Structure 1
Amino acid sequence: MVNCKGIWTKQTLINLLLGQFLSLLITATGFLSSELARKGINAPTSQSFLNYVLLALFYGVFMVYRQEGLKAKWYYYILLGIVDVEANFLVVKAYQYTSLTSVMLLDCWAIPCVLFLTWFFLKTKYRPRKLVGVAICIAGLVLVIFSDVHAADRTSGSNPVKGDLIVIAGATLYAVSNVSEEFFVKSADMVELLGFLGLFGAVVSGCQIGIVERNELKSIHWSAGAALPFVGFAVAMFLFYSFVPILLKRSGATMLNLALLTSDMWAVLIRTFVYHQKVDWIYFVAFAAVAVGLLVYSGRDKVDRNIADVAGEDIVRSKRFDEETGPDNPAQKNVIESSNT
């Protein structure tokens, strides 16, 4: 359907569109979180809790209905739930101590972590062209961070060093969570992954709410204006978590993290065309750079395509050989009879 010298395929286009759909969902959660913060609601773990509950209920029903045995050890999902909850908590927590610029920059630490973890544990091979695509994407985001748009933001933050360390820790946990999900979705099952992630994520975040955010929730004056963004955030996160395994299975954790780099760019475009706010022109240059990086990374190597073709030919050749040497083949019967005698 989409073909440019045999490199750009229908699968490539689907992966890119799916990545940008996930990026838009992250943008939506950012706007809804900002709306909650504007209303004085500061309960990041509570926001995530409702998402985990929806995952547990929705995918748990499918698990019960299928009545299939587990494809992975259940206690692995407990560790994944802890890592995922704390990754969400740490990155949101960092905004209290450091600037938006630092969070945006240091959050990119998840990308080299994902590259290393997928290479070391999942044995993923990255050709030089894919590494070039990663570098272009990161350069595009760095271009935004060091632009004049955030000039006033660079010195903000009550404790920048503490905040930066928290972001690095959160980004590392994000990488561990993404790579673990890629492993489970490829070796186990998507429904099982999301059902148990929702169950144990709800348990962990529920315990954390009781320890950290209990007083905060008691002080909130709930109204329709506060409840709608809260529920909207949970629904957007539920959709995000539901579609992430699909992209992980198709393209891997690295592609996911690269695609999410455009979430800040989408936020800028929404502010520009919906709220008619003026932004620096360099944002659009950075958006184009990230888009080019994604295209470079997603493009299918001719070498990869040739390997796939050769593998396909080998499979066909192997099947043909099996058919020709099957028990109905006279020559094969002679071999069997002679070996029996």
Structure 2
Amino acid sequence: MARFDGLWSKKTLIGLVLGQFVSLLITSTGFSSSELSRRGINAPTSQSFLNYLMLAFVYGAFVIYRKRRLQIDWYYYLMLAVVDVEANFLAGSNPVKGDMLVIAGSTLYAVSNVSEEFLVKKAERVELMAMLGTFGAVVSACQISILERNELKSIHWTAGAVLPFLGFALAMFLFYSTVPVILKISGSTMLNLSLLTSDMWAVLIRIFAYHQKVDWMYFIAFGAVAVGLVIYSGGSKIDANIAQVAEAKEGDEESVVNNLVQ
């Protein structure tokens, strides 16, 4: 019964649902980037800039309104922003740069996720998003002025070019806003496992939206990832319960010893 409760607790279900929500958001960013690439637009830092700007304005307004000191020193947020911007640059819409850059970008994503988990548990989500957005916008602006200035000048800004930019920014804003919640509830491992299903959602979209045929192995892979998410999430809950029981037992034993000594 304990295992059943651990697998299907409210916290577990929330973590699973939010994990698939951000997975769909990542899939949306992939389709937006593909559309931009199809139009010959290659400006990954510029795509992320608008997201950071939205985070800075929306969450920064709450931070300014509260007039409270930062719970974490600003330079930690600056380092996180640098890592996050470069992760988006290397692993975003630039797979043509080679497998090594994709691996480097994935590594930076992992570092960013773990760092966010640490910061959101030490501070809070609003402060994290505000500072990440602020420093991310500054770092992105500097990088755009060096690497993507000519690319932006050459873009013919039609509705077909603007809409993918806006769609990417909105999806990333929702993604960044949801990720700290998952990190606080389930941790960075659960987040990264959830993102494994993004390719599977892309396959389903291609099937139903574009009527493309895919290999049946994709569905087996999707099911395997889903089962793994449930087992990991439920196992984490069980481990937490065991730890609580162990701590309570140790406390009872110490109480008995203290009584005997007295």
TM-score, length of structure 2 as denominator length: 0.90
User: For residues 88 and 17 of structure 1, what CA distance do their matches in structure 2 show?
Assistant: 24
**CA distances 1:247-291 after superposition (whole Å, capped 9, x unpaired):** 001111111111000000000001111211111111111111111
1:257 aligns with 2:192: yes
TM-aligned CA deviation for residue 3 of structure 1: 8.1
Correspondence list, 1:243-322, <5 A: 243-300=178-235, 302-309=238-245, 311=247
TM-aligned CA deviation for residue 295 of structure 1: 1.2
Residue 7 of structure 1 corresponds to 6
Correspondence list, 1:136-147, <5 A: none
Correspondence list, 1:67-146, <5 A: 67-92=67-92, 94-97=94-97
TM-aligned CA deviation for residue 303 of structure 1: 4.8
| Percent sequence identity over aligned pairs | 65
Residue 143 of structure 1 corresponds to none
TM-aligned CA deviation for residue 170 of structure 1: 1.2
Which letter does structure 1 place at the counterpart of 2:199? Answer: D
Residue 260 of structure 2 corresponds to none
Residue 130 of structure 2 corresponds to 195
TM-score, length of structure 1 as denominator length: 0.70
State whether residues 36 and 42 of structure 2, in contact with CA within 8 Å, keep that contact through their aligned partners in structure 1.
yes
Secondary structure at the counterpart of residue 96 of structure 1: helix
TM-aligned CA deviation for residue 176 of structure 1: 1.1
**CA distances 1:68-117 after superposition (whole Å, capped 9, x unpaired):** 111010111111110100011111365113xxxxxxxxxxxxxxxxxxxx
User: For residues 82 and 242 of structure 2, what CA distance do their matches in structure 1 show?
Assistant: 42
Residue 256 of structure 2 corresponds to none
Structure 1 residues 61 and 264: alpha-carbon distance in aligned structure 2, compared to 1, 3 A threshold: same
1:227 aligns with 2:162: yes
TM-aligned CA deviation for residue 18 of structure 1: 0.5
TM-aligned CA deviation for residue 309 of structure 1: 4.5
Which letter does structure 2 place at the counterpart of 1:304? Answer: A
State whether residues 3 and 10 of structure 1, in contact with CA within 8 Å, keep that contact through their aligned partners in structure 2.
no
State whether residues 42 and 93 of structure 2, in contact with CA within 8 Å, keep that contact through their aligned partners in structure 1.
no
Structure 1 residues 256 and 222: alpha-carbon distance in aligned structure 2, compared to 1, 3 A threshold: same
- Which stretch of structure 1 is more off in the superposition, 36-45 or 20-29? 36-45
State whether residues 33 and 93 of structure 2, in contact with CA within 8 Å, keep that contact through their aligned partners in structure 1.
no
User: For residues 70 and 155 of structure 2, what CA distance do their matches in structure 1 show?
Assistant: 41
User: For residues 238 and 64 of structure 1, what CA distance do their matches in structure 2 show?
Assistant: 20
Unaligned runs of 5+ in 1: 98-162, 318-341
- Which stretch of structure 1 is more off in the superposition, 203-212 or 166-175? 166-175
Unaligned runs of 5+ in 2: 253-262
**CA distances 1:200-240 after superposition (whole Å, capped 9, x unpaired):** 10011101101101110001010112111111110110000
State whether residues 94 and 164 of structure 1, in contact with CA within 8 Å, keep that contact through their aligned partners in structure 2.
no
Structure 1 residues 210 and 186: alpha-carbon distance in aligned structure 2, compared to 1, 3 A threshold: same
- Between structures 1 and 2, the one with greater helix share: 2
User: For residues 211 and 4 of structure 1, what CA distance do their matches in structure 2 show?
Assistant: 54
Residue 45 of structure 1 corresponds to 45
Which aligned runs of 4 or more in structure 1 are off by greater than 6 angstroms? 312-315
